[in-house]
Amino acid sequence: LLAESWQTSDDGKTITIKLKSGVTFQDGTPLNAEAVRFTFQRFKERGTKSPIYSGIQQIAGIEAVDALTVRFTFKEPAANFWSTITMPYAGILSPDSANKLAETGKGYLIGTGLFSIGEWKAGQSITLKRNPAYNWGAPITQNRAAPYLDSMVFKVIPDATTQLAALEAGEVDAIFINQPDHLSKLQKNPAIRLDDAVLNSLIYLGFNSKKAPFDDARVRRALSYAVNKDEILKVALGGIGVVASQALPPTLPGYDASLKSSELSYDPKKAQATLKDAGFAQGADGTWSRNGQTLKGVLLTSNRAPNDSISALLQSQLKAIGVPMEIQQLDSKAVMDATGEGKFELLLWRYDWNDPDALNIYLGTKQIGSTNRVAYSNPDVDKLLAQGAREMDEAKRVKLYVEAQKLILQDAPWQPLYVPTDVLAISKRIDGVKIGYMGRMLVNDARVVAK
């Protein structure tokens, strides 16, 4: 969207990007090489708190060569850099807006997109207003200039049933659905159009690898064997999604169908045998204990559908092998805060990324306390992931991630559950909306065609 051209040096350690001319931020200030340098320097200063930390930690220098040319130099070749800078989290920021926010605590971070923030009512809604200056869209949409819509309102409606009712009543025009009965109902509604896409995402059951007894890989493997993924997909999701066998979704390089043989598949008897091997004994009440401590836990997840249904099934499946589990649902920020501080035992969560470097971002040792929410650490895995991040030969890079996945599957910091399919339900009074990159709505071509 913002680059005119780019060039990578033969050794992979220098990337030079020429920016498009005439692009401005939503505050009217120009997008230039200094803004890019400022933005990435800001990312680097935030360290592991930055969601793109893994992809930028090898940056040795950022230089504004001229007004529209920026040069990145790296300590090592950075095979993961391109995927990193195309993530939604890596948008270029207006330096003026960032400095103002840092100084006063007021305002918003401002980018170059087709909509800007008009009003933000915390916990209620966000109103976006049209950016009339926008004319640098990508060829993936017909309209590459300013949007046709004057504004968009995103309403906060946590409950999926309430969302459905709002769509049917015409109070909202679009929702993402993940409830099988809702999908079935909307498929029969002539006023609604459905669009779907398999995502570069994974939903997983995670274990706090720093907290006993979940710091024992045998315990993590045992609980993983107790999970019936097919039941989860069928009952909680109505088949919306794809059962996962490994830590990478099939949409990403590094996914390997042969790893199915290493999956910790549903096997309740093997789950109980593994607990015995780990030194646990089963009591008369069916629960397991070791050194006087009963094996139990609290499953932490966010308070959004379908996490409630999935959590209930996981609770039932673990109870079936004698492991009681409570469920705690919080808002997403509270979950992230809790995992950052290690205040949890089991976690139902998801990741979204567009590159196999996701393994490093979400399971690398350096990301513990940040995106590595389960505090998993394996030096051998770290080594393979570091090699993968700098390997410029795609075939060799894929092999490194496959080897890393073999180790991850045995260590079982996660039990991969399923790869989600996003289903967008949208009123036919709106035309031109579709699911785009990373499951985001593309609204460049959106128009209101009926009242």
Q: Write the CATH number for 158.
A: 3.40.190.10
In the listed set 69, 102, 135, which residue is the last one of a domain according to the structure?
102
Same domain, 168 and 239: no
187: tokens are 């498929």
Radius of gyration of the chain (CA): 23
Structural domain including 78 reads: 3-102
Same domain, 306 and 342: yes
107 within domain boundaries? no
Count: domains in the chain: 3
> Do residue 35 and residue 152 come from a single domain?
no
Q: What is the pLDDT along the chain (451 residues), one digit of tens a residue?
A: 899 999 999 999 999 999 999 999 999 999 999 999 999 999 998 876 787 887 788 899 999 999 999 999 999 998 889 888 888 889 999 999 999 999 998 889 999 999 999 999 988 999 999 999 999 998 889 999 999 999 999 999 988 899 999 999 999 999 999 888 899 999 999 999 999 988 899 999 999 999 999 999 999 999 999 999 999 999 999 899 999 999 999 999 999 999 999 999 999 999 999 999 999 999 999 999 999 999 999 999 999 888 999 999 999 999 999 999 999 999 999 999 999 999 999 999 999 999 999 999 999 999 998 899 999 999 999 999 999 999 999 999 999 999 999 999 999 999 999 999 989 999 999 999 988 877 789 999 999 998 7
Domain co-membership, 69 together with 140 = no
In a shared domain, residues 310 and 372: yes
Residue 94 sits in the same domain as residue 185: no
What DSSP element (H or E) covers 403? Answer: helix 394-411
In this structure, are 413 and 436 located in the same domain?
no
In a domain, 332, yes or no: yes
Return the half-sphere exposure (C-beta side, CA atoms, 13 A cut-off) of residue 31: 24
Examine the domain organization and report whether 263 and 411 are in the same domain: yes
- Establish if 144 belongs to a structural domain: yes
Which CATH number characterizes residue 271's domain? 3.10.105.10
Same domain membership, residue 206 and residue 187: no
Instruction: For residue 183, give every residue at least 6 positions away whose Cβ sits within 8 Å of its Cβ, in sequence order, or none.
Output: 177, 194, 238, 240, 423
Q: Please indicate, yes or no, whether residues 253 and 375 belong to a single structural domain of this protein.
A: yes
Please tell me whether residues 230 and 360 are part of one structural domain: yes
Minimal CA–CA distance to 426: which of 231, 229, 189? 189
Are 272 and 183 in the same domain?
Answer: no
Alpha helices in 89-190 (DSSP H): 95-104, 160-168, 180-187
